[in-house]
Amino acid sequence: MSKGLSTVSGICLAVAAVLQGISILLPWWGMKFIAPQYPEGLDIVVYPYKLEGRIDIINGLNHYIGMKEFSAATFHELDYLPYVIGAMAILTLIAAIVRKKGILYVLIGLFVIGGTLGIYDMLHWLRSFGTELDPHAPIKISPFIPPIIGENRIANFITYSYFSYGSFLIGAAFLLVLLSLWKERKL
Amino acid sequence: MKKAVPAVSGILVGFLAATVFFADFTTQGTSTSATPTGEKSTAEKVYIPFGQQDEYYMFASGGHSGQLFVYGVPSMRRIRTVPVFSPDSATGYGFDKETKEMLGGFRWGDFHHPAFSEKNGEYDGKYMFATDVANNRVAVMDLSTFVVKDILKVPNTVGPHCAAFVTQNSEYLFLPTRFSAPIGQQYASLDDYKTKYNGFMSAVKMNEKTKKLEVAWQVKLPPWSYDLSDAGKKVSGDWAVVTTYNTEEATTNMEINASQKDRDYILLFNWRELEKMVREGKADTINGVKIIDPLKVKSGLYLVPVAKSPHGVDVTPDGKRFIASGKLAPAMTVFSFEKAFEAIKNNKITEQVKGIPVLDYASVMEREVNPENALGPLHTQFDDKGMAYTTMFISSEIVKWDPNTGKTLDRVPVQYSPGHSVSAEGDSVSPDGRYIVALNKLAKDTYLSVGPSHPESMQLIDLASDKMRVIQSAPVDPEPHYAQMIKADKIKTIEVYPKDETNPNAVYQQKNARIERKGNEVHVYGLAMRSKFIFDDKAKRKDTIEVKEGDKVVIHLTNVDFDEDITHGFGINGYDQDIEVQPGETKTLEFVANKAGTFPLYCTNFCSALHQEMNGYLLVQPK
Ligand SMILES: [Cu+2]
């Protein structure tokens, strides 16, 4: 049996659980497309359960370079992601209540695994969209992989990819979990 | 040190060259750069840098082009041409089923006076009304899309030049006759002019829900010509005024014969009273229209004598006065509504003409204003202080004067011969006093020559300082008669047409695009998107329409690019068919495939990098 965690750590974990819960409702990641004709920019915004932004227009334009269509139906992740995050939040809440150091390690392990899988999944999609271009497309461009974060140029578009509020909350939740471990370091 | 010499000498040479070539050595005169310190130069006053927009919209009628011209003020850049009474291939107006029916087979119109809808005497930015002198029509344009929603052919009112003027809460717009004619425009000899001919004034209403226009009622008037008009405001809100000419009732050589009498009349009427009479059943119903005959009922109509053949009559922003412009007499006459109401109450009536009481001139008139050497006053606008600005056609100037005193305050020459003028929010209860635009009938050599006929000209005059100054000049196609100027932020346009899932003709998804045959009718439910047409999603060639000679072809086309400014056109080579679909819009084109052959169809409105590839075929199999 590991020793019980302090009240402060418990509070940290409880807050981390709440943050994860809230993050389900917020955008996690986005990409903005800016072109001379679209100085206001076109957005794709990814929530754990939906896609938002001017997807139809982006799809309409992307067909010129033979890119597949973005749609919520393509991304099955959106069907179960809210439950995964919800489960994590509940687990964190349990850790806050039980206040056992062992659960903390499990939690951190899950965060690391989940985060890695998430990033891998995004890379997979970005690679798939940027490289599996229809060979019959009217405009031929070299395959490309847009970065998960930062600037890229495709034809007349400059894209900016960025993490958003949901991811920030998850980051904060992870730090809170680490903080509670650090609080217990002398024990 | 050695390097400094060429550098310094270079700078000196530069200064010298600049001085020689660009310095202004004139010490006096009207140079545009000679402005008081702190004041913007003329060029700066009208320059709108990229990314900024004009302060006002100006809607100018296009006369016998049948179109509306939309300008930005102060830049005086033409933003848009909106077809109203004539077909227009640039927008496919008059080609699709709806607008073709709306135009009623007419190939032209003569659009004279635009009028904004009003709320409490202010322009509300929702609708613009237009009237057609040529074919007796009235139109309403929706200012959220800048598209005409309805056109109504008005019976009996022949040549509604004297329109449209809108009451202060858009209860009615009125259309009085320019030409008198027998009722229903039936045949009658001109020898019977006095007995069989009449003027008619129509009160038209718009149903805001359906955006349809309807004739509410009409008034039968003496067989004169009715020229211009204005609705009252505030204290005079239930009233309106109309100028008349040819009270001589001449039937030929009007130039001479309609200018014989020293006095014509202003028709003053209370539309609430007329409305009440119609409600009480005092109107006759002729061919389905309720018509009030002043010979039969005491009607709320009065005549006020005025110097001969007046043109404009304009109500002051406070609604207390109306000002008639003499046209042939070199003076403006200021009348008082309050004095008129008093005269009516005290029965100051000198005679009855054709059943209409004539009010005693002296009891209604406040003053006659005759600025020195000003000739041909036509039309008056106002500023924020209630000062009047009258266009002088013959002496080619705008005269600013004070309606309270009649004193001339300022005058500015314009090039040349202004008809109407329009000031910022000038017909509302609170004009802005920022700008006035002279709508000049002649440009002469103002612009590069385009042959014997020159463009008309619009000149922007700054009212911000005490001295009026022309600060911009813009050529314009024939022929703005009048314009109205509205603060830009009052107009709220939409970017794309919203999806209407209840529209059975609309197709928003490619899989629903289809062609259905019903007997000898072919119905196409197609869509347009960057950069293709899909008429039949199941077909081998989705962008081909194949019919038989003699088939009736009905093409419903939806633009599924819900993206700002992405408009598609649809033209059929050799078939005289051409429509446009704006983002999100669905239109219907109907025609009979009366000639066999191969006819390419294509997008006419440049939409994308592959616009040139946006085409298909109409194949018409021979019988
Ligand atoms: Cu197109």
For the stretch B243-277, pLDDT in tens is 999 999 999 998 888 888 888 999 999 999 999 99
- Give yes or no for A138 touching B (CB within 8 A): yes
Checking if the pLDDT of B310 tops 70, the result is yes
Write down the pLDDT at residue B346: 95
Candidate from A56, A64, A139 with C-beta closest to B562: A56
User: Are the beta carbons of B451 and B461 closer than 8 angstroms?
Assistant: no
Neighbouring residues of A113: CB distance < 8 A, sequence distance ≥ 6: none
Instruction: Report percent pLDDT > 70 for chain B.
Output: 94
Under CATH, which number does the domain B56-490 receive? Answer: 2.130.10.10
**B530 interaction partners in chain A (CB closer than 8 Å):** 60-61, 64
B503 CA: distance to closest CA in chain A (Å): 21
Structural domain B510-621, CATH architecture:
Sandwich (2.60)
- The pLDDT tens digits of the residues spanning B312-345 come to 999 999 999 999 998 887 889 999 999 999 999 9
How high is the pLDDT of residue B358?
Answer: 97
Inspect the interface and report whether the beta carbons of B610 and A56 lie closer than 8 Å.
Answer: no
pLDDT computed for residue B170 by the predictor: 96
Among the partner residues A54, A56, A64, nearest to B610 by beta-carbon distance: A64
Domain layout of chain B by residue ranges: 56-490, 510-621
**Contact state of B561 with A138 under an 8 Å Cβ cutoff:** no
Which is more confidently placed, B17 or B353?
B353
Asked if the model's pLDDT at residue B14 lies above 70, the reply is no
Query: Least CB-CB distance to A57: which of B563, B609, B613?
Result: B563
Q: What are the structural domain ranges in chain A?
A: 27-180
* Residue B123 pLDDT: 97
Give CB contacts under 8 A, 24+ apart, made by A65-72.
A65/A133, A65/A137, A65/A139, A65/A140, A65/A141, A65/A154, A65/A155, A66/A133, A66/A134, A66/A135, A66/A136, A66/A137, A66/A139, A67/A129, A67/A130, A67/A133, A67/A134, A67/A137, A68/A128, A68/A129, A68/A132, A68/A134, A70/A44, A70/A129
Work out the mean pLDDT of chain A and round it to a whole number.
89
Q: Is the pLDDT at B18 greater than 80, yes or no?
A: no
Report the distance separating Cα A49 and Cα B320, nearest Å.
64
Q: Does A145 touch chain B (CB under 8 A)?
A: no
The pTM (predicted TM-score) of the whole model is 0.87
Measured in angstroms, the CA of B531 and the nearest CA of chain A are apart by 9
Q: Percentage of residues in chain B with pLDDT exceeding 90? A: 83
Amino acid at B311: H
Average pLDDT over residues B401-415: 95
**Quick check: B523 and B557 in contact, CB under 8 A?**
no
- Mean pLDDT to the nearest integer, B478-485: 93
**Residue A42 burial (CB count, 10 A):** 19
A57 Cβ under 8 Å from any chain B Cβ: yes
Give chain B's mean pLDDT.
Answer: 92
